[in-house]
Copies of this chain bind each other. A is one copy, B any other.
Amino acid sequence: MSAAPQPGLSLNTATVREAWSLEQCIDGCARHAIPGISPWRDKLHEMGVARAAIAIRDAGLQVSGLCRGGMFPAADAADRLAAIEDNRRAIEEAHALGARCLVMVCGGLPQGSRDLPGARAMVRDGLAAIIEDARAAGVTIALEPLHPMTCADRSVLSTLGQALDLCDEIGPGMGVAVDVYHVWWDPQVEAQIARAGQRIAAFHTCDWLVPTTDLLLDRGMPGDGVIDIRGLREKAQAAGFDGLLEMEILSTAWWQRDPDEVLALCKERHAAFC
């Protein structure tokens, strides 16, 4: 049994992204009594930021995060600058929504590059370029370490320890998003969750399936895989995390299903496994 009470559920809109607009997600959360939501920016832009902010507030939903900023590395300076500008817009959007954080997927190697230290430097420089905007807006930047299998094409930030080193380097306004899918395997995960403390700005759930058939879109519903999700959640709470648990399931299999069924099952599995 858990020492601290189980936090509430937040729906990451990627979980039903093929079927539902953001407006439908907001309605869905209200109908299913899910207390939080985390929109992806493409859905947010479709709906319009101001309209979405009002609808989310009217539905009484907390915004556990905005997905996502980042993607800093690029082969030329113009593209790196464009990424920084886009991140500034993302900070404004997170502020408009009252989001608990802006989740950062930092980006992989630039096209054709084998220079991993160089790509990591681009991430650091990008973050340094936007942090003042984030502080001014009161938006926490939540670095999400992604599973090492995404290092080449999505995130050269691979571990919680690496993310916290970067938080230390950039300073106030920085935090981390702990997604169990990305960090469960790490022999350092418990120590780094404890180190993170109240810098844990978001906590994402889903499960690792055996076998896993796709590196991006074969994530599992909690309970269907091998991750001790509850154990990690308890560690995060013990470290000081007091937010909602955001369920984010990128899965071509679950995207085929009726979103109302998916949300009902998310609630069940959240209660049983998260």
* Residues of chain B lying within 8 A (CB to CB) of residue A227: 114
| Pairs across A and B, CB under 8 Å, 15 listed | A113-B226, A114-B227, A114-B228, A115-B228, A116-B228, A148-B149, A148-B185, A149-B215, A151-B184, A151-B185, A152-B208, A152-B225, A158-B185, A158-B187, A161-B187
Given contacts A114-B226, A115-B228, A226-B114, contact A186 B158 (CB under 8 A): yes
- Pair A148/B226 contact, Cβ less than 8 Å: no
Q: Which of B149, B162, B184, B228 contacts A147 (CB 8 A)?
A: B149
* Residues of chain B lying within 8 A (CB to CB) of residue A114: 226-228
* Residues of chain B lying within 8 A (CB to CB) of residue A152: 185, 208, 210, 212, 225-226
Q: Which of B115, B158, B184, B212 contacts A116 (CB 8 A)?
A: B184
Using a CB-CB cutoff of 8 Å, which residues 55-85 of chain A contact chain B? none
Given contacts A158-B186, A187-B158, contact A211 B153 (CB under 8 A): yes
- Pair B147/A159 contact, Cβ less than 8 Å: no
Is A14 an interface residue, CB under 8 A from the partner?
Answer: no
Counting contact residues on chain A (CB < 8 A from B), the size range is 20 to 34
* Closest B residue by C-beta to A215: B212
Is A26 an interface residue, CB under 8 A from the partner?
Answer: no
Nearest CB of chain B from residue A67's CB, rounded to whole Å: 22
| Complex alpha-carbon distance, A57 and B212, angstroms | 41
- Pair B212/A187 contact, Cβ less than 8 Å: no
Is A109 an interface residue, CB under 8 A from the partner?
Answer: yes
* Residues of chain B lying within 8 A (CB to CB) of residue A156: 185
* Closest B residue by C-beta to A182: B148
- Pair A187/B215 contact, Cβ less than 8 Å: no
| Complex alpha-carbon distance, A186 and B230, angstroms | 26
Interface membership of chain A positions 158-173, coded 1 if the CB is closer than 8 angstroms to chain B and 0 otherwise: 1101100000000000
Using a CB-CB cutoff of 8 Å, which residues 135-165 of chain A contact chain B? 147-149, 151-153, 156, 158-159, 161-162
